[in-house]
Structure 1
């Protein structure tokens, strides 16, 4: 992993990237697949690191050793290409946080500037024999990027509801028993759309948010009020908007606490002012796998039936 010295120091792990960007199936954006991806690579003794210390350092993609070196030598070129790509195709200003080599390509992790706020990625092909980055062929999975933008728009037009959820999770962390991923980890190996240290959201049925997206693409400066008016409430189904919460025990010696796990579930069930959606919840111990950025392991406590907030 490389972090650009000048701009990238400001730097959800994306386990789905472990198979390589070019082989991803865009239709797998549902909650069950997200949980499966998180469990693909549980931390081992050699790769486990405390979540409070994890910034994305050590994250790796298959067959990326040589392309990682080539990308590192061409970071300025890759950054300029990514900024131009998102400005022209998605009307969005972004900042590049990290570039990670993979087979025949490099994955570029980016974050939007301002609102709608989201994380995503682009891909730059690399000719390993010629040691050349082909920035003119930069591309992104349209489904993933559009879903990320739509998630950011959802967070933008329901800002007050998300503030209630954020305040609750912040209060849990302030009590000292649980924590989330570091901001640097989300930035450097993110790509999970609308994300915070505690959760990310994904959308299965985009019917309700599609008019909002179309209005934003026509006018990126459209007000949040007008974007909210474009949201089709009648087409919204809470079961198609996934809010995936993942917390970690703050103590390095602590196992996931069942009593705490049950209390958080009870709190979420009783809250009435948080965003509508389908809530999953996982409580991990303190460690995360630095190569995959996954915290899921055998002792993780996982909510079996989602909490539906209509």
Structure 2
């Protein structure tokens, strides 16, 4: 299994640096070098190869020598703390550690990550202290639970976005890219889900799942409190790319998709952002949004109530 790559998180256009165990996250953001033009690759070809985190060269080499131990530790961590079986897809070096990208097996389906500390001097991989951002994992599981509960509504959205791709004008990310540098909860080639920490509607479902991962879908649905749903706590972030490798983002396509999303009444309720990018992704950051991207986002979201 090849595990040499990295992630796009939060909202479109913002790289979340999954850097080790340091408390210098704000400084690290400023140190990240701007992607060069040479690192742009077609979205159809991008699998996450070439992605890199700051100060990760040495720890990446150390992690590569300890892949089996890291993989075993990550699988045990998610199984014990979150009652979830996962597959490890990628391990990448970062400052003071390595980031481990995983995908859940079965439902709820999601991608997330953990971090294992690494000491560069002693080359010690401290698997006993593997950890994860607690809310990031909760967000990932909650997104997967939303998709399970509202399967029919998401099915309508998935069908629409897939039909756009079949028409030949737009493309989405590859499955390999999602596995290797995804990490942001429930994801498809065309969108990812974000939930807020104060999302009271889905919290009882999350708690029930942790109590019993084998809980029936009907009981999970019953635990969902629709009366507490707040559209601002649930976001669907759509990212589409032009299929033609030379094409600029099409205003015609952008306007049509925006209109369709505004008029569709059978897709999930919530807050939608929509980015239409050209065909290229920055391999180093996995970013698709650029200055030429067309967007409908903050503060002018598409709202479905």
Aligned to 2:188: 196
1:191-236 Cα offsets, whole Å, 9 max, x none, are 1101100000101232000100111111100011110110000000
Aligned to 1:248: 241
Show structure 1 runs of 5+ residues with no match.
Answer: 27-36
Alpha-carbon separation, structure 2, partners of 1:215 and 1:45: 47
Identify the match of residue 164 of structure 1 among 152, 156, 162: 156
Alpha-carbon separation, structure 2, partners of 1:19 and 1:3: 19
**Cα gap change, 1:24/1:269 in structure 2, threshold over 3 Å: closer, same or farther?**
farther
Aligned to 1:29: none
Instruction: Note if contact 2:59-2:93 (Cα within 8 Å) is conserved in structure 1.
Output: yes
Instruction: Note if contact 1:42-1:294 (Cα within 8 Å) is conserved in structure 2.
Output: no
Establish whether residue 257 from structure 1 lines up as the match of residue 250 from structure 2: yes
Aligned to 2:73: 81
**Cα gap change, 1:202/1:24 in structure 2, threshold over 3 Å: closer, same or farther?**
farther
Structure 1 residue 45 displacement after superposition: 1.6
1:7-64 Cα offsets, whole Å, 9 max, x none, are x9xx9634543362546899xxxxxxxxxx9xx9875321100010000000100000
DSSP 3-state at the match of 1:56: coil
DSSP 3-state at the match of 1:165: helix
DSSP 3-state at the match of 1:106: strand
Alpha-carbon separation, structure 1, partners of 2:33 and 2:136: 22
Alpha-carbon separation, structure 1, partners of 2:193 and 2:23: 19
Instruction: Note if contact 1:51-1:181 (Cα within 8 Å) is conserved in structure 2.
Output: yes
Aligned to 1:266: 259
Alpha-carbon separation, structure 2, partners of 1:101 and 1:123: 10
**Cα gap change, 1:72/1:88 in structure 2, threshold over 3 Å: closer, same or farther?**
same
Paired residues for 1:118-157 under 5 Å: 118-157=110-149
Establish whether residue 306 from structure 1 lines up as the match of residue 305 from structure 2: no
Aligned to 1:224: 217
CA RMSD of aligned residues (A): 2.1
Deviates more, 1:128-137 or 1:241-250: 128-137
1:109-143 Cα offsets, whole Å, 9 max, x none, are 00000000010000000011111211011000101
**Cα gap change, 1:49/1:166 in structure 2, threshold over 3 Å: closer, same or farther?**
same
DSSP 3-state at the match of 1:79: helix
Paired residues for 1:196-215 under 5 Å: 196-204=188-196, 205-215=198-208
Alpha-carbon separation, structure 2, partners of 1:115 and 1:236: 22
Alpha-carbon separation, structure 1, partners of 2:20 and 2:178: 18
Establish whether residue 235 from structure 1 lines up as the match of residue 234 from structure 2: no
DSSP 3-state at the match of 1:260: helix
**TM, length-normalised to structure 1:** 0.90
**Cα gap change, 1:222/1:134 in structure 2, threshold over 3 Å: closer, same or farther?**
same
Show structure 2 runs of 5+ residues with no match.
Answer: none
Alpha-carbon separation, structure 2, partners of 1:122 and 1:19: 9
